[in-house]
Structure formats: C-alpha cells, structure tokens
Structure 1
Amino acid sequence: MVIVGVIALCLVLAVLAFLLPRLSRHPQNGAQRSLAAGSRAGSKAPGFLGRLLSKPFRSSSRAVGRSGSAGRRARRHMPF
C-alpha cells in the first residue's frame, strides 16, 4: 500500500513538474522533508535494524526527487 502511494506521488510530481516547473518545487520539497523525517525516525533503531528501517524512506525520497527533476527536464526539451 505504501509502495503504491509513493508511486502515485512520483507520478503526480512528474506531471506537476512538467506542467508547472517552478510551482512543483514546493510540493517536492515537502514530500522529501516528510520522507526524511521517516528515515531519521527509522535510523534511531540500533545497528542493522536502523539501516533496514530507514532504507525505504531514503529510496522513496530519492525517487521523489528524481521524478520531479525528470518532469522539469522533459519540459526543458520540449519545443514550445
């Protein structure tokens, strides 16, 4: 369920970044900020468990950042 939510968020951010590149920065930063908070909370567990709990949040944050930048990059290459 969480994976579907992250995928949906990435799709929405990519479309928003394509249509409104400047206005997509704030939602992208907000999503990355909330995922970073989850990563920090998960990393407080000791040892291997901390790395295991924080990894999904780190990779989701990276995916959100990449989808936003990909939408802006695609917009930049359009002829209009």
Structure 2
Amino acid sequence: MIIVGVIAFCVVLAVLAFVVPRLSRHPQNGAQRTLGLGSRAGSKAPGPLGRWLSKPFRSSSRAVGRSGSAGRRARGHLPF
C-alpha cells in the first residue's frame, strides 16, 4: 500500500514540477523530510535489521527527489 502511495506521489510531483517548477520544491522537500524521519527511525534497529528497515524509506526519498528534478529538467528543455 505504501509503495502505491509513493508512486502516486512521484507522478503528482513530476507533473507539478513540470507545470509550476517553483511551487514543486516545497512538497518535494516535505516528502523527503518525512521519508528521512522513517529512515532514521528504522536505522536505529540493531545490525542488519536497521539497514533493512531503513532501505525502503531511503529509496522512496531518492525516487521523490528524482521525479521532482526530472519534471523541472523536462520543463527546462521546452523551446518556449
């Protein structure tokens, strides 16, 4: 269920970044901050369990960052 939510948010963020690049920064930073909290909380578990618990949050945060930057980059390639 969380995977579907992250994918949906990435799509919405990419469209938002393409349409209004400046307004997409705040939602992107908020999502990355929230996912960072989950990653830090998961990493407090001992040993390999901490890495396993924090990995989904790290990769989701990276996906959110990439989708926002991809939308802004695509907007920059437009001829107008």
- Structure 1 residue runs of 5 or longer lacking an equivalent are none
Match of residue 32 from structure 1: 32
| Displacement of 1:79 | 1.2
1:65 is matched with: 65
TM-score by length of 2: 0.99
**Alignment size in residue pairs:** 80
Structure 2: distance between partners of 1:12 and 1:32? 15
Identical aligned pairs, as a percentage? 85
SS at match of 1:64: helix
Correspondence for 1:78: 78
Runs of 4+ in 1 over 6 A off after TM superposition: none
Matched letter for residue 40 of structure 1: R
The equivalent of 2:14 in structure 1 is 14
**CA distance in structure 2 between the partners assigned to 1:49 and 1:69 by the alignment:** 31
Q: Can you give the 5+ residue segments of structure 2 that lack an aligned partner in the other structure?
A: none
| TM-score, normalising length: structure 1 | 0.99
What amino acid is aligned across from residue 25 of structure 2 in structure 1?
Answer: R
In 2, the alpha carbon distance for the partners of 1:73 and 1:5 equals 23
